[in-house]
Amino acid sequence: MTQPVQARPLTRARYAVFALFASFGVVLSTWAVHLPVLQHNVGLSNAMLGTVLLILGAGSLVGMQLSGALVDRVGSGRVATIGGAVLAAAITLPLNASTLAQAIAGAFMLGVAAGCADVGMNALAVSVERDYGRPIMASFHAMFSIGTVVGSLLGAAGFALRLGILAMTAMIAIICLVIVGSALWALRNHQERSSGGHLDEASAPSAPTPEHHRQRVILLGMLAFLFFLSEGSAMDWSSLHAQQHLGAPPSLAALAVGSFVTAMTASRFAVDRVAQAVGPVWVLRGGAILAMVGMLTVILAPDLPIVLVGWALFGVGLAGGLPQVFTAAGNLGGPTSGRTLSRVVGVGYLAILGGPALIGWMVELVSWTAALLVPLCAMLVCVLTAPVVARAKDA
């Protein structure tokens, strides 16, 4: 039996991970909120702005693959904090660009930093969760959602005060650098352990064969892809669906996004307790079933109030899926757990890039109903493949 981890440094480490996830959310929402400013200042067409976003995504994929090897070499804490600090500073680069070349270069650098920070902080979250000996991953992802809300509110305040883009991005960079610095200080006594160092030896993963390990990585990557696809579909298309399919005005249609995000964020603070009680398989499977009910409600709803209920159910259902997938990926064992996690996160990230576009094409070519069957079917696959996230002691 391994020795208990000291409570006070572990609690500080948990708060540090909270801070890193929140800071990540603040930076990404700042980027999203100020995209119209970038488009105006540089004179970008919609197609050119799409190219900049594609470059950002490509940079993120590069950063994710680089950070996986770095996590295995120097530890997740260093990758998470250094990546978070670079990310905070990098937000100033693309948003203050004056030419397309500057915007592309800045977006690529921001993407690399985001990819490194994303994998680093999720790997660190797995390490801290492992030391706690109980599920806490979902609450970290809830803090990311809260960070996106805070970043959006800061952006709105900046617009109201008529702050220039340089002043605004500098302020965000300073705030996030302070947050990351505080996280670095809180992590000073945190000792990372390998994926075999669980508090409860019964929960330690057995040594899988290379073929079994490869199969689990593929399945976990597929689950990450499907959850990101479903989340992106709700974020990007729920408001437009309410407008075009139900004829809701934009002011009311925006409530569709709000109901989804609010339900998912609030639920993530409760998911960890549920996971501790029933295990990760039933969190993922039950959540996917509830998400299917929510999506069916959206598809069949005759008016906006019922659609809002459907999107809220969809958000509650999705809340626990990705945390279980990332925990399972980080605990697969072996000396390359960082690279394993980076591959799973990277495959999932492909859905962020291509998933919303798939929904848009289907709406254009077929109908809203057919398009929304995509996330419905995605959740059905998640129900069927849920056992892949089982802990060793639950298997």
pLDDT at position 337 is 67
In degrees to the nearest 10, what's the CA dihedral of 178, 184, 185, 189?
Answer: 170
Alpha helices per DSSP H over 319-389: 321-330, 337-365, 368-385
* 8 Å CB contact between 341 and 122: yes
C-alpha–C-alpha distance, residues 297 and 128, integer Å: 38
pLDDT at position 16 is 95
pLDDT at position 199 is 33
Instruction: Indicate the pTM of the whole model.
Output: 0.82
Each residue's pLDDT expressed in tens, for the chain with a length of 395 residues? 344 456 778 889 999 999 999 999 999 889 988 888 898 999 988 788 878 888 988 899 899 989 988 988 888 899 999 999 999 999 999 999 999 999 999 999 999 999 999 999 999 999 899 888 889 999 999 999 899 889 888 988 898 899 999 999 999 999 999 999 999 999 987 776 554 444 333 334 445 577 787 888 899 999 999 999 898 888 878 888 888 888 888 778 878 888 898 999 999 999 999 999 999 999 999 999 999 999 999 999 999 999 999 999 999 999 999 999 999 988 886 555 678 888 898 888 888 777 767 777 787 787 888 888 999 999 999 999 999 999 755 54
Q: Which CATH number fits domain 7-186: 3.30.70.260, 1.20.1250.20, 3.40.30.10, 2.40.40.20?
A: 1.20.1250.20
C-alpha–C-alpha distance, residues 60 and 93, integer Å: 15
Tokens of 182: 């505080």
pLDDT at position 3 is 42
- Establish whether domains 7-186 and 205-389 are of one fold: yes
| Residue carrying structure tokens 């307790």 | 273
Q: Which residues of 179-200 are buried (b: 16+ CB within 10 A; e: fewer)?
A: bbeebbebbeebebeebbebbe
- Domain spans in the chain, listed from the N-terminal domain onward: 7-186, 205-389
State the CATH class of domain 205-389.
Answer: mainly alpha
- Cα distances (angstroms) measured from residue 212 to each of 123, 184, 207, 384: 21, 36, 10, 18
